[in-house]
A and B are shown apart, each in its own frame.
Chain A
Amino acid sequence: MKLTLGKIFIEDVQFGKDTKVEGKTLFINKDELLDAVGESEYIDNIDIDITHPGDEVRITPVKDVIEPRVKVDGPGGIFPGMINKVQTVGSGKTHALKNVAVVTAGKIVGFQEGIIDMTGPGAEYSPFSKTHNIVVVANPREDVKQYDHEAAVRQIGFKAANFLGELAKNLTPDEEITYETLPLLQGVEKYPDLPKVGYVYMLQTQGLLHDTYVYGVDAKKIIPTFMYPTEMMDGAIVSGNCVSACDKNPTYVHQNNGIIEDLYEKHGKEINFVGVIVTNENVYLADKERSSDWTAKLTEYFGLDGVIVSQEGFGNPDTDLIMNCKKIEEKNIKTVIVTDEYAGRDGASQSLADADPKADAVVSNGNANEVIVLPPMKKIIGMTDYVDSIAGGFDGSLREDGSIEVEIQAITGATNETGFVKLTAKEY
């Protein structure tokens, strides 16, 4: 499977009369975008705002972050099974509007949504302080069930991103990169001397605000399966979760997975990047056992020499992570696991809920319990009413002057466990 990804670098986003890309600027006609997003029986009102890196703006509660993309050539459309029809994506040509993101926000669904600060100390922790953000603030009707509320906002985000992505269809990309993964046997024939490497992609699948979708399927209902890495780039995996926003993968991260990109960098030169095994993190122990058995079985079946395993979340998924690692290592396949830590506000506590000596190669994306003070911002997109009760917040988090004392757990993407960011921790 071969995909050419054309990147169009956007330098500014503004509201305008027409929705278009002119030069390096994305202009948005608010009404057109609202039309494209459409109405939902569960949503009372939707508004759209734009914010830029460096603005004195705080966005919260953040649910998802999405990159606008469009399929230019090849089968299927972006977000198959969610927005476009179910069809295998990942080949042909796709255009992406870079440096911009659709962010969904608005009245809280659960306790769990995140914060993005566009400037100040908090901005350093969120990768989405560096994008021009088109924020869709959607507030639910009263008495809407949490599940319906979450699904409605999720869908609104994809529609907005899809609409904006369409603008890129006829643009000439500033940069093109071609990624190719051959069918297993052909790949092995082409690179007989290179070590075969796979990626075990763990997806958060624990229920409300903890779900992930693969081609529209709720991933808690899958058994581990194989995917070409380029399928992710076309939105085959989307997020339905933002619990403890620091280490959840927004859709943007699924589209731009760093482990996939960095493995491709060495593909055909130092390694043969064979593909991705997607698996879940379910709430039943039997599921955890079955899924980790299957990932290990698949890594063995593909004849892999090495595997990177990334986690999404913490707590009981630490067990899925350790089970995956242990069972894959027991097949004599070298593993590296990518996670984050909950070592307490003072950093002196146990970082993971589960452990095993076989997990001897760990990449840490930082201690999510570390406390940060976010200074007051001139403008809030969304609302800060819920800061005390979101994950990472505590009674008194929101101070009178508008500053917020929270664990970095509350910051969207701060300790992302696909290694999307540079934060890490070391022992003193």
Chain B
Amino acid sequence: MVKEIERAGIPVVHICTVVPISLTVGANRIVPAIAIPHPLGNPAFDKDEQKAIRRKIVDKALVALTTEVDGQTVFED
């Protein structure tokens, strides 16, 4: 899906746990997530902490969207 969105002309960032798949299928802006069943949360923490974790990942996704890339780029910490 990620490629088709980009191909349509909309910049897209892919937040996903399995970065290698994202790299194989061809996403250009990739932000690693926590885990497959809860990519943007971590049930080990309470609700507020989870939201803080989520905020951090989304912030990183916004950085990715506003950063020029030449090819596939993973936005690690």
Contacts and interface: CB of A to CB of B under 8 A. Distances in A.
A285 B17 contact: yes
17 contacts: A206-B36, A207-B37, A283-B17, A283-B36, A284-B17, A284-B34, A284-B36, A285-B17, A285-B19, A288-B18, A288-B20, A316-B17, A316-B21, A319-B20, A322-B20, A323-B20, A353-B21
Contacts of B25: 353
Interface in A359-391: none
Contacts of B66: none
B24 A316 contact: no
Nearest to A289: B20
Interface string A280-293: 00011100100000
A355 interface: yes
A206 B37 CA distance: 8
Which of B20, B24, B34, B35 has the most chain A CB atoms closer than 10 A to its own CB?
Answer: B20
A283 B37 contact: yes
Contacts of B17: 283-285, 316
Interface in B1-44: 17-21, 24-25, 32, 34-37
Contacts of A318: 21
Contacts of B21: 316, 318-319, 353-354
Interface of B: 17-21, 24-25, 32, 34-37
Contacts of A285: 17-20, 32
Looking at chain A, what size class is its interface with the partner chain? Answer: 10 to 19
Interface-centre pick from B18, B34, B35 (highest chain A CB count, 10 A): B18
A373 B45 CA distance: 46
A283 B20 contact: no
Nearest to B20: A319
A355 B26 CA distance: 12
B34 to A, nearest CB: 8
Interface of A: 206-207, 283-285, 288, 316, 318-319, 322-323, 353-355
B37 A354 contact: no
Contacts of A323: 20
A-B pairs, top 4 by smallest CB distance, nearest first, are A283-B36, A283-B35, A316-B18, A319-B20
Contacts of B18: 285, 288, 316, 319
Nearest to A287: B35
A125 B20 CA distance: 32
Nearest to B39: A283
A332 B19 CA distance: 26
B36 A354 contact: no
A319 B21 CA distance: 7
Nearest to B38: A283
A337 to B, nearest CB: 15
A289 to B, nearest CB: 9
A201 B47 CA distance: 38
A257 to B, nearest CB: 26
Nearest to A326: B20
A300 to B, nearest CB: 22
Contacts of B35: 283-284
A226 B75 CA distance: 36
Contacts of A319: 18, 20-21
Nearest to B25: A353
B59 to A, nearest CB: 20
Contacts of A355: 24
B24 A354 contact: yes
Nearest to B32: A285
Contacts of A288: 18, 20
A207 B32 CA distance: 20
Nearest to A353: B21
Contacts of B36: 206, 283-284, 316
B35 to A, nearest CB: 5
Contacts of A316: 17-18, 21, 36
A318 B37 CA distance: 17
Contacts of A284: 17, 34-36
Nearest to B18: A316
B77 to A, nearest CB: 13
A354 B36 CA distance: 16
A316 B32 CA distance: 14
A407 B33 CA distance: 31
A219 to B, nearest CB: 16
